[in-house]
């Protein structure tokens, strides 16, 4: 039985872990990020990977920083055959990568060398890509720069957001990993070096990027909304207050109104953006309120906004 140190944190990692268990890989340990305080009540919350590990009575390690930690040495001393990572969230020291007998393997949510970094799925949406995919790659010290073992592409649908893509890609990643591992283990896999001229980076989303401004086109704004749903959510400043937009669609019609104005507020809530483009807001969250569909918004707070009125702060 091939032994594995599994490393992952969010929901994306869970199907990968479950797939390894189901296919009789010996999981010696699960390494995940520390539990975090979540929500207004700051409730201590376990990572999805930890919850899955505990369900199978697997040892769990949660170092704040892996490098130099006692936990790292404990895991090294397990002398596993493989390290498998899926959205773990920390750099892995070379000493750790080299500690396993066969290979350190990463399940990455993009078609490398495009979108190295921590937010590949989000950037595929931000940039309006037609497709994304999974890369099974060899882990090296340099971020996401290892040789490619295998890849599989999927189409990005118009109604996809980060949440739906994470779910789809976690299943693709699980299946592609299980297809690829036997050839890694027996040494028959053919590795493909990444083309350095085609490298694109996808750093973690910043607070500044969460804001939608009317100088964007409607398509650019909608792509950002999709990329930040379900977390942390994109927002615009509406009359000086944060106004989150969870779902929208680009209107077919254009407008002569300057960016940031109400185009329509009957049956829909449409806002003008750059180049005469228009965005229909479908699900919103005014400051201090819960998420609501646009009908409920227009029946309440939204009823005061008149067509032609400039309401979105630049």
67-106 tens-digit pLDDT: 999 999 999 999 999 999 999 999 999 999 999 999 999 9
Shared-domain flag, residues 247 and 190 = no
Q: Quickly state the pLDDT bin for 181 (edges 50, 70, 90).
A: very high
Residue 40: predicted pLDDT: 73
Shared-domain flag, residues 250 and 193 = no
Q: Could you tell me the two tokens for 268?
A: 């829909």
Shared-domain flag, residues 125 and 196 = yes
pLDDT, average across residues 260-281? 96
Q: Quickly state the pLDDT bin for 25 (edges 50, 70, 90).
A: very high
Residue 38: predicted pLDDT: 81
Q: Tell whether the torsion through CA atoms of 252, 258, 259 and 263 is positive or negative.
A: negative
User: Is position 286 annotated in a ligand binding site?
Assistant: no
- CB burial of 62-92 (b: ≥16 within 10 Å; e: otherwise) equals bbeebeebebbeebbeeebbbbbbbbbbbeb
Mean pLDDT of the chain: 96
Shared-domain flag, residues 269 and 144 = no
Q: Could you tell me the two tokens for 2?
A: 């091939």
User: Is position 170 annotated in a ligand binding site?
Assistant: no
CATH label of the domain that carries residue 165: 3.40.50.170
Shared-domain flag, residues 179 and 266 = no
Domain stop point among 182, 202, 222: 202
Residue 234: predicted pLDDT: 98
pLDDT tens for 112-155 read 999 999 999 999 999 999 999 999 999 998 999 999 999 999 99
Shared-domain flag, residues 169 and 26 = yes
User: Is position 303 annotated in a ligand binding site?
Assistant: no
Domain stop point among 202, 226, 247: 202
Q: Quickly state the pLDDT bin for 37 (edges 50, 70, 90).
A: confident
Shared-domain flag, residues 40 and 108 = yes
Shared-domain flag, residues 149 and 253 = no
Domain that holds residue 286: 208-310
- Calpha distance 260→313 (Å, rounded): 7
pLDDT tens for 192-233 read 999 999 999 999 999 999 999 999 999 999 999 999 999 999
Residue 153: predicted pLDDT: 98
User: Is position 111 annotated in a ligand binding site?
Assistant: yes
Residue 161: predicted pLDDT: 98
Shared-domain flag, residues 149 and 272 = no
Shared-domain flag, residues 161 and 14 = yes
Number of domains in the chain: 2
pLDDT tens for 40-49 read 778 899 999 9
CATH label of the domain that carries residue 273: 3.10.25.10
This prediction's pTM: 0.94
Residue 267: predicted pLDDT: 85
Can you state the angle between helices 162-186 and 13-22, rounded to 10 degrees? Answer: 40
Domain stop point among 187, 202, 217: 202
């Amino acid at each position: 039985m091939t032994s594995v140190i599994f490393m992952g944190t969010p929901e994306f990692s869970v199907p990968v872990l479950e797939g390894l268990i189901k296919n009789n890989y010996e999981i010696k340990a699960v390494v995940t990020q520390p539990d975090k305080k979540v929500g207004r009540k700051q409730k201590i919350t376990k990572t999805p990977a930890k919850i899955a590990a505990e369900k199978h009575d697997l040892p769990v390690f949660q170092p704040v920083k892996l490098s130099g930690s006692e936990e790292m040495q404990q895991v090294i001393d397990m002398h596993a055959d493989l390290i498998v990572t899926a959205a773990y969230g920390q750099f892995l020291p070379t000493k750790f990568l080299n500690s396993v007998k066969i290979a350190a393997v990463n399940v990455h949510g993009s078609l490398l060398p495009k979108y190295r970094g921590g937010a590949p799925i989000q950037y595929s949406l931000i940039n309006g890509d037609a497709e994304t995919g999974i890369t099974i790659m060899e882990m090296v010290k340099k971020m996401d720069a290892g040789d490619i073992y295998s890849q599989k592409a999927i189409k990005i649908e118009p109604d996809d957001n980060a949440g739906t893509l994470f779910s789809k890609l976690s299943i693709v990643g699980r299946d592609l990993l299980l297809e690829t591992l036997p050839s890694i283990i027996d040494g028959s896999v053919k590795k493909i070096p990444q083309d350095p001229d085609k490298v694109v980076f996808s750093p973690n989303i910043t607070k500044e990027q969460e804001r939608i401004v009317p100088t964007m086109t409607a398509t650019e704004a909608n792509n950002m909304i999709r990329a930040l749903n379900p977390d942390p959510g994109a927002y615009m400043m509406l009359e000086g207050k944060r106004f989150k937009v969870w779902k929208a669609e680009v209107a077919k019609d254009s407008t002569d109104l300057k960016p940031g104005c109400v185009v329509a507020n009957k049956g829909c809530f449409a806002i003008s953006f750059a180049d005469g483009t228009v965005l229909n807001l479908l699900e919103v969250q005014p400051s201090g309120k819960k998420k609501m569909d646009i009908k409920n918004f227009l029946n309440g707070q939204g009823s005061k906004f008149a067509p032609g009125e400039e309401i979105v702060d630049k």
